[in-house]
Amino acid sequence: MIKEYPIVLWIYYSDCIKQIERMKSTKILETCTFFQLLTKNHREVAALMRNPDFGANFELFDLNKFCLYAEDLARAFDRAQNHLNCMLDQEDISHETADGKLRPNFTASFGDSELPFFKCPSALMIPTSANMTMVFAWKAGDS
């Protein structure tokens, strides 16, 4: 295929390089470029998203300037946003627990069957053996 379409592939490759260079120099925030959104760990990006300008700047930007990577950028943004939402939910639970509004509920999962208390990639799960994991969840109710 490369021998049949070398010019087309070269043009595509050149476009990829140009868009990557443009992403490296285009900032979402002073501390984050579009290229970093694609290459950083989603947990690091979620921490940057605590700045409300991050989401606003991302939404205002025309991703068609990086048309080859637009879907990847949107997916990276959504993944980091979901992680941030989980972090904020867990912070709320922690604050409510500290205020005495919630009581802890300890639950275990065995083997491959996990109990779905948190649907967050950063849930507090502590392996206790090869077949058992402690899942820490909080249940609303009286103490």
pTM score above 0.85: no
For residue 94, the tally of other CB atoms under 10 A from its CB is 12
pLDDT at 134: 47
For residue 61, the tally of other CB atoms under 10 A from its CB is 14
104 three-class SS: strand
* H or E stretch covering 58: helix 52-60
Q: How far apart are CA 84 and CA 50, in angstroms?
A: 8
Closest C-alpha to 46, from 32, 60, 35, 67: 32
pLDDT at 106: 44
pLDDT at 127: 47
Look up tokens 């009286």; give the residue: 142
Which residue numbers in the chain have pLDDT < 70? 1-3, 94-143
On whether the CB atoms of residues 62 and 91 are closer than 8 A, the answer is: no
pLDDT at 91: 78
pLDDT at 100: 58
pLDDT at 59: 95
User: Residue 98 corresponds to which tokens in the numbers above?
Assistant: 């500290």
